[in-house]
Amino acid sequence: MQSAAIQDERKLLRWSATLEDFRPPAAAVAWLTESGLLTERLRTCCDGGPGLTVVSEREVPLAAAESALLQAPGNAAFVREIELTCDGRSWVFAQSLIPLATLARHGWLSTLGDAALGERLAAVPGLKRGPLEFARLTPGVALFHRALRGTVDPPAELWARRSWFAIDGARLLVQEVFLPESLR
């Protein structure tokens, strides 16, 4: 039953390789198309410096489309969710989906603690990155609600991007949601 609910929620989310499909505001475009590390960009934006908070780490079933994108055998992944903060305010919600087969080969991915995944990946020799895809998140989409957990007055939409990474052919997926504070 839970797997069917996850599949239904994820069907509501449409990813695109082009921003023209969504026409996000200029402030969102700047974040969505950022080619460098988000932690580096946050360092330039924050007076007191960026922070990282681990929101959750758990095992979840993968949707069929995610399994296909990740070229993952099996149908489960380790999911790590974090928030990147700027001066104590949440700016980016990130969700990493790591197939269990990838985790078996690269166990360090489950022991990051408060280290930024992007910074660790940048140091991996031979790392490959897939193309960026973009999405407009609205109420009813699971990723929208995960990013805004507990928000009293949620916005009408959020903007997100995702990309897969491959370490020795083993893929993982990183999805980043830009919260209202980052777009001011």
Q: Determine whether 77 is exposed, middle or buried from the number of CB atoms within 10 Å of its CB (0-12, 13-18, 19+).
A: buried
* pLDDT for residue 115: 93
- Identify the pLDDT of residue 17: 95
Which fold would CATH assign to domain 2-183? Chorismate lyase (3.40.1410)
Residue 12: the pLDDT is: 65
Question: Which pLDDT score, from 0 to 100, does residue 7 have?
Answer: 46
Spell out the domain ranges in the chain: 2-183
Give the pLDDT of the chain (184 residues) as one tens digit per residue: 445 444 444 446 899 999 998 999 999 999 999 988 888 888 888 887 789 999 999 999 999 889 999 998 888 999 999 999 998 899 999 999 999 999 999 999 999 999 999 999 999 999 999 999 999 999 999 999 999 997 888 999 999 999 999 999 999 999 999 999 998 8
Q: How far apart are CA 181 and CA 58, in angstroms?
A: 27
User: What pLDDT score was predicted for residue 26?
Assistant: 93
pLDDT at 50: 87
User: How far is the C-alpha of 11 from the C-alpha of 36, rounded, in Å?
Assistant: 29
Residue 135 is predicted with a pLDDT of: 96
Q: What is the DSSP string of 32-47?
A: HT--S-HHHHHHHH-S
- pLDDT the model gives residue 70: 95
